[in-house]
Amino acid sequence: MNALSEAERYLLDAVRRGDEQGWPQLVDRYQGRLLAFARSRVRNASDAEDRVQEAFIGLLRGLEKFRGECSLETYLFSILRRRIIDSHRGKTNSMCLLRDTLRGGDDEDAGPEARLPAPDLTASTYARNAEHRGELHRALAEAITDLVSGYKEALNFRELKVIELLFYAQLRNAQVGQAVGVEAGHVATIKTRSLSRIRKYLLNRTPSDSPESPEAPGSSASPVSSDPPEALLTEVWEDHRPSCPKRSTIGGYHLGTLEPAWQDYVDFHLNNLGCRFCLANLDDLKESEDRAHMDRLRQRVLQSTVGFLKKS
């Protein structure tokens, strides 16, 4: 699965072949949104800049191993997030503002139908059954991306909001129902159906491709016979950001030019879910717009006043 855009492939190819303009162009393209993200997680401005610098260094160090399984932006955000986590061990580093706000809520009123039986399978067990943890993450990323793409193509944003709140924000069924305006029992139904689709996608992978194949040597049972642990789904979601709108879509939201259904969903993703990645993009777009406006104003002032300047 290659998720790189044409522009990203061009920049990476330029950097890899040593084009002297390639690296400055890449840094210029991403530094603003990365810095906006770092500032939202790090109080000290200098520390935020240090983490962004480390993220770019990390990209260069891992450049030969990067195969484009996610977008370059997502890859840089992932490196930056880990650098921030490493420098703030023991502190909350959730990627959704809503998760921080509602963490620790009570779901007892949801009733037994709103709770799924927890599979007798831990994240570490799930990973041990895969030949490589990285392969498992890629498989889950493909499965989740396929699920999210289906919701977006069908404009089924209500169910997309539900699974974002469940798997990305790690909210409980009652909290999700309250946020989206549906019964907790219906949330459980959407959750069950979504997990079933993820499991089916993994099972349909060919044995040669699938790290979870029942025929895999040394594996007594296929881990996809049970649902993946929700903590693992959240980890993959944060690493690959399958539901995050494109930067151009966020720009359209900012300008108010999206179709109503998309405008409503992006507003939810930004302001209700509080995705820190996308909020960083929005902040950077606003700052870029302000800089562009000031540049245009500067040019207008210079051009309109040139005739008034004294000749030397």
Tell whether 143 is covered by a domain: yes
Q: Is pLDDT at 211 greater than 50 in this prediction? A: no
Domain check: are 174 and 220 in the same one? yes
What is the distance between the alpha carbons of residues 44 and 53, in angstroms, rounded to a whole number?
14
Banded pLDDT at 221 (limits 50, 70, 90): very low
Q: Are 129 and 219 in contact (CB under 8 A)?
A: yes
> In the numeric block, which tokens belong to residue 41?
């997680």
Q: Are 187 and 173 in contact (CB under 8 A)?
A: yes
What is the distance between the alpha carbons of residues 200 and 208, in angstroms, rounded to a whole number?
17
Domain check: are 200 and 70 in the same one? no
Tell whether 183 is covered by a domain: yes
Quick: pLDDT tens for 146-173. 999 999 999 999 999 999 999 999 999 9
Domain check: are 158 and 238 in the same one? yes
What is the distance between the alpha carbons of residues 87 and 262, in angstroms, rounded to a whole number?
36
Tell whether 279 is covered by a domain: no
What is the distance between the alpha carbons of residues 151 and 211, in angstroms, rounded to a whole number?
26
For the domain that residue 68 is a member of, what is the CATH number? 1.10.1740.10
Length of the chain: 312
Domain check: are 103 and 48 in the same one? no
How many domains does the chain divide into? 2
Q: Is pLDDT at 293 greater than 50 in this prediction? A: yes
For residue 99, the model assigns a pLDDT of 72
Tell whether 298 is covered by a domain: no
Q: Among residues 87, 106, 129, which one ends one of the domains?
A: 87
Domain check: are 74 and 115 in the same one? no
Q: Is pLDDT at 14 greater than 70 in this prediction? A: yes
In this structure, what DSSP letter does residue 21 have? T
Domain check: are 111 and 208 in the same one? yes
Q: Which domain holds residue 28?
A: 6-87
Q: In whole angstroms, how far apart are CA 180 and each of 163, 262, 268?
A: 11, 16, 10
User: What mean pLDDT comes out for the span 193-214?
Assistant: 71
Domain check: are 74 and 101 in the same one? no
Tell whether 47 is covered by a domain: yes
Domain check: are 140 and 198 in the same one? yes
As a whole number, the mean pLDDT across the chain is 80
Tell whether 311 is covered by a domain: no
Quick: pLDDT tens for 46-61. 899 999 999 999 998 8
Domain check: are 239 and 104 in the same one? yes
What is the distance between the alpha carbons of residues 35 and 24, in angstroms, rounded to a whole number?
16
What is the distance between the alpha carbons of residues 71 and 74, in angstroms, rounded to a whole number?
5
Q: What is the DSSP string of 130-176?
A: SS-HHHHHHHHHHHHHHHHHHHHHTT-HHHHHHHIIIIIS---HHHH
Q: Among residues 211, 243, 275, which one ends one of the domains?
A: 243
What is the distance between the alpha carbons of residues 285 and 250, in angstroms, rounded to a whole number?
9
Q: Among residues 243, 263, 294, which one ends one of the domains?
A: 243
Tell whether 301 is covered by a domain: no
Domain check: are 119 and 72 in the same one? no
Domain check: are 200 and 78 in the same one? no
User: What mean pLDDT comes out for the span 132-156?
Assistant: 88
Tell whether 184 is covered by a domain: yes
Domain check: are 116 and 77 in the same one? no
